[in-house]
Structure formats: C-alpha cells, structure tokens
Amino acid sequence: MSEFTLRDLETIVASRATSEDVSSYTATLARKGASHTAKKLGEEAVETIIAAVSEDDARLTSEAADLLYHLLVLLHLKHVPLSAVMAELARRTAQTGLEEKASRPSDPGS
Ligand SMILES: N=c1c2ncn([C@@H]3O[C@H](COP(=O)(O)OP(=O)(O)OP(=O)(O)O)[C@@H](O)[C@H]3O)c2ncn1[C@@H]1O[C@H](COP(=O)(O)O)[C@@H](O)[C@H]1O
C-alpha cells in the first residue's frame, strides 16, 4: 500500500468541503466558516500540547492527527494550498531556524 500523505488528505478535504452529506464533519466546518475552524484548530493545538506534556504517545498521535486535519481544512477555506506551505518550508531549509527567524519582518506583537 502506498504511503498516505497530507496531499492525499488535502484532496479529500477539498472534495468533502462542498459535500452535501450531512454526516461530513468537513462540510460542517466549511459551512461554519474559517473563523470557527480556526477556533477548532486552536482547541486541537491545546489538546496536542496537553497530550505531549501529560499523556501517552498514542494520545499525542491522535491529537496531532486532529491538529493536522483541522489545519488542512482551515488552509482550504482560506484558499491557501498545501503546496504553498510546503514551498515555504522548503525555502527555509536553506537556513537555520534562528537565521530564518532573524530574517522575518519585525512583529509589533512580539
Ligand atoms: N482526518 C479527519 C479527522 N480528524 C478529526 N476529525 C474530526 O474532528 C472532530 C474533532 O473532535 P472534537 O471533539 O474536537 O469536535 P466535535 O465535538 O466533534 O465538534 P464541535 O461540536 O465541538 O464543533 C471529530 O468529529 C473528528 O471526527 C476528522 N474528520 C475527518 N477527517 C478526514 O476527513 C475525511 C472526510 O471526513 P468527513 O468530511 O467527515 O466525511 C475522513 O475520511 C478523514 O480522512
């Protein structure tokens, strides 16, 4: 069996987002919109953190999967392709994380 990739999940999300199947959670998120999905993503991030700090590896794996799924739904709703995120990550491989951080425009909030 070939390896399942985030790109495969992106394709599933794109097709389910416009589905009229009432059992589709992706379609429910799409109907509720990007702000709602962003809030769910935040909740999944917190649950992932809690799993990493105080739960077992199986729980962390499950929460990380929820997190990645919700991120893909949000990217879809914001019309940002996964390929754009991967291109940005690829660009960053040319430098270390701290060099990349120093090259970012200054953030007034930090
Ligand atoms: N990978 C996922 C996936 N990961 C997590 N989830 C759903 O994310 C939700 C997260 O659970 P929560 O308890 O936080 O949310 P909730 O309480 O159900 O929702 P709220 O009432 O709080 O809004 C659960 O309903 C999970 O089933 C996912 N739903 C769908 N997928 C993929 O998307 C495909 C299409 O799914 P549907 O769109 O549902 O057909 C599936 O075949 C999967 O491949």
Distance, CA 1 to ligand 1 centroid (Å)? Answer: 24
pLDDT tens digits, one per residue of 71-104: 999 999 999 999 999 999 999 998 888 887 888 8
Residues 6+ positions from 50 with CB-CB distance below 8 Å: 63
- Domains detected in the chain: 6-84 (1.10.287.1080)
pLDDT tens digits, one per residue of 35-79: 999 999 999 999 999 999 999 999 999 999 999 999 999 999 999
pLDDT for the residue 110:
59
Entry pTM = 0.90
Query: What are the helix and strand counts (H, E) for the chain?
Result: 6, 0
Q: Is 42 helix (H, G, I), strand (E, B) or coil?
A: helix
pLDDT tens digits, one per residue of 96-108: 888 878 888 876 6
Report ipTM for this prediction.
0.91
Distance, CA 7 to ligand 1 centroid (Å)? Answer: 17
